[in-house]
């Protein structure tokens, strides 16, 4: 267990303690998400740290679990409800029906962030602000869509995370430069230290995963298991890559 282990953290900064999966009631084991091995073999996931990271390869189930937590906790996911799929899956968003959540002191409001759908929220927010300019004060005073994707995302993080709540973040490093990722690391650290805000973050970023005091859960393991920062693929592969770089003459 390394500096990322959550030993000694204060439960004052934690709202959601654990999720458990009722695998015996699954409606199928052949269709996504119930076909995922990590879903079939994980009975519970501990979340009793101010910041918990979900780490793992693409398709390992990180976002699937995060969305199930959001639905189960009543946290809205902004996205285009009118989208059509070539092959509709009636089970796609049903995992939450078989998930139980354990709170410390009752349910807590929060928000779900995914870079791929946040732009839709930003456009809607600016449309609302056209008729109610006072809304802009909540997110820095300027329209979100006047900023780059990365700047827009950072504006949301900087202002929203000052409010106590449960925050679910799906790959928030998308669209962020390494410098901006370091800034997000600072924001997460300061928000967790203030207390009141809890974060569950699915990420590939070795910068974010380095947050001291956080818990890292590997979705490459079945069942989901805690992993040390230096044992994550994100750290090991970046270390190997830079170790193999030759110095420029």
Query: What is the rounded average pLDDT for all residues in the chain?
Result: 88
Lowest-confidence pick of 21-30, 76-85, 216-225: 76-85
Task: Give the sign of the dihedral formed by CA 19, CA 59, CA 222, CA 14.
Answer: negative
Confidence of residue 7 (pLDDT cuts 50, 70, 90): very low
pLDDT for res 5: 42
The more confident residue out of 133 and 101 is 101
Q: Which residue is listed with tokens 């078989």?
A: 98
Please tell me whether residue 227 adopts helix, strand or coil conformation. coil
Biggest distance spanned by C-alpha atoms of the chain: 62
Q: How far from the centroid of its chain's Cα atoms is residue 178's Cα?
A: 18
pLDDT for res 125: 74
Structural domains of the chain sorted by starting position, each given as residue range(s) with its CATH number in brackets: 11-79+88-115+165-243 (3.40.50.300)
Please tell me whether residue 170 adopts helix, strand or coil conformation. strand
Encode pLDDT of 115-170 as tens digits: 877 777 777 777 878 878 887 787 777 777 777 778 888 888 998 999 999 999 99
């Amino acid at each position: 267990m390394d500096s990322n282990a959550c030993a000694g953290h204060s439960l004052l900064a934690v709202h959601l303690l654990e999720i458990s999966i009722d695998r015996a009631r699954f409606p199928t084991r052949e269709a996504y998400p119930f076909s995922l091995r990590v879903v079939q073999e994980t009975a519970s996931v501990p979340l009793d740290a101010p910041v918990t990271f979900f780490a793992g390869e693409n398709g390992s189930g990180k976002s699937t679990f995060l969305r199930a937590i959001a639905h189960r906790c009543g946290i809205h996911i902004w996205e285009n409800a009118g989208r059509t799929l070539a092959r509709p899956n009636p089970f796609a968003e049903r995992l939450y029906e078989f998930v139980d959540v354990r709170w410390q002191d009752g349910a807590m409001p929060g928000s779900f962030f995914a870079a791929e759908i946040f732009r839709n929220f930003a456009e809607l927010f600016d449309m609302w602000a056209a008729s109610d300019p006072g809304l802009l004060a909540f997110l820095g005073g300027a329209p979100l869509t006047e900023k780059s994707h990365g700047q827009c995302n950072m504006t949301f993080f900087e202002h929203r995370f000052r409010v106590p709540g449960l925050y679910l973040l799906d790959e928030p490093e998308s669209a962020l430069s390494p410098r901006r990722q370091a800034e997000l690391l600072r924001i997460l650290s300061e928000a967790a230290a203030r207390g009141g805000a809890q974060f569950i973050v699915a990420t590939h970023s070795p910068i974010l995963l380095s947050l001291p005091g956080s818990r890292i859960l590997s979705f490459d393991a079945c069942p989901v298991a805690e992993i040390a920062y230096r044992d994550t693929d994100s750290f090991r592969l970046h270390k190997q890559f830079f170790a193999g770089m030759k110095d420029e003459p």
